[in-house]
Amino acid sequence: MPRIIHNVDTPALVIDETIAQSNIERFQRHCNDAGLKLRPHIKTHKSIHFTSQQLEAGAAGITCQKIGEAEIMAAAGADDILITFNILGAEKLQRLSKLASVITRLAVTADNATVIEGLSATFADHTRTLHVMVECDTGAKRCGVQTPAEALTLAKLIETLPGIEFAGLMTYPDKLPSNVPLQFMRDTVAELSAAGIDCPDVSTGGTPLMWSAATEGVFTEYRIGTYIYHDRSMLERGICEESDCAARVITTVVSRPTDERLVIDAGSKVLTADLLGMEGYGHVVDFPDATVTGLSEEHGVLQVSADNPLQPGDQIQIIPNHVCVVSNMFDQVHLIDAQRAIKPMSIDARGKVN
């Protein structure tokens, strides 16, 4: 008989709800104890169901990266949303304006005057104020102002312009521990204070540094996504154990062309080509001899030892390198509840590129 893990058509993304719930609650307790507001990023699960669980556990609000994600979560009841992205262009600004009307508090980030001026022009006559945080580049080398002086300039601009309100500072720190984010934020808050500008919030985040999340006398809020499912990148960093990994790709061996090569029905259209600095495309559970050495769109190629028992028809489970991007590849996940029953659930905000 073939090895069957779950009665699902493969490839499938299966989420153990008990593990996900435990991950939500454990980090909520960490933030409560640390005196940090927790603002989970929905990009990992893209799901109304899990957004609700995060809010019920005590989250202060949610983080989205796209207006399309925020619209879906707002319709489902999320009423305090931060979109951590520079919003530009007439169509997006119009959607942002509509979104602000239907929730209690909407905030965005900005790192340049063009963005801030567009936001102000849109919200100048709005019944609601848009909260704008200044994004600071503290080492991740993506968006963000480069110096506290630049942050001050933008905060002043926000304070000057109508329709928008300065809501504080935001950074997405580099994945490795560093004193730069703390120092940058301390210096900026001091400069703001010297200029008579109050800084309501200082928001940082990231799953890689989750267990050292603390206010350090500056930070007020932590944004985090991957922690709900975890993945191979967190496993390899020692942030979680295999038993904390709630999301697994169930895939079927479709071929064993040689003694040491298996082919599975999960390729880059499922596992994605994200390496995140690692070798191979996922952690094969139960088979330490197996490594996913290559992916094409619908095939995964595994190197195994010659005595590996897997044959065509057998299922295996893979903890993906980067689970957020894998959530985006499926129209639905399969949830396993505490009674081990399995049921499909739509990924509500999958594929929201705008």
Residues at the site binding a second copy, with contacts judged by CB under 8 A: 9-11, 43, 65-66, 85-86, 88-89, 91-92, 111-112, 114-115, 137, 141-146, 252, 254-258, 261, 263, 265, 268-270, 272-275, 294, 296-299, 301, 311-313, 324-325, 328-331, 351, 353-354
Q: Distance from CA of residue 310 to its chain's centroid? A: 34
Nearer to a second copy by C-beta: 214 or 253? 253
**Nearest CA to 162 among 133, 193, 135, 122?**
122
Nearer to a second copy by C-beta: 104 or 311? 311
Tokens found for residue 28: 């909520």
What is the CA angle 126-63-346, rounded to 5? 105
Q: How far is the CB of 152 from a second copy (least distance, A)?
A: 16
Q: How far is the CB of 148 from a second copy (least distance, A)?
A: 14
Q: Distance from CA of residue 308 to its chain's centroid? A: 35
Count of CB atoms within 10 A of residue 2's CB? Answer: 11
Q: How far is the CB of 234 from a second copy (least distance, A)?
A: 16
Q: How far is the CB of 12 from a second copy (least distance, A)?
A: 8
How many residues in total does the chain contain? 354
Nearer to a second copy by C-beta: 161 or 263? 263
**294-332 per-residue burial string, b: 16 or more CB within 10 A, e: under 16:** bbeeebbbbbbeeebebeeebbbbbbbbbbbbbbbbbee
Q: How far is the CB of 139 from a second copy (least distance, A)?
A: 12
Nearer to a second copy by C-beta: 280 or 294? 294
Nearer to a second copy by C-beta: 146 or 243? 146
Count of CB atoms within 10 A of residue 33's CB? Answer: 9
Kindly give, in sequence order, each residue whose CB lies less than 8 Å from that of residue 183, ignoring residues fewer than 6 positions away.
Answer: none
The Cα–Cα gap between 100 and 20 comes to: 30
Q: How far is the CB of 282 from a second copy (least distance, A)?
A: 13
The DSSP letter of residue 145 is: B
Q: How far is the CB of 35 from a second copy (least distance, A)?
A: 29
C-alpha R_g of the chain:
22
The Cα–Cα gap between 301 and 251 comes to: 12
Nearer to a second copy by C-beta: 210 or 302? 302
Nearer to a second copy by C-beta: 110 or 214? 110
The Cα–Cα gap between 122 and 286 comes to: 54
Q: How far is the CB of 300 from a second copy (least distance, A)?
A: 9
The Cα–Cα gap between 176 and 266 comes to: 31
Nearer to a second copy by C-beta: 243 or 296? 296
The Cα–Cα gap between 187 and 123 comes to: 30
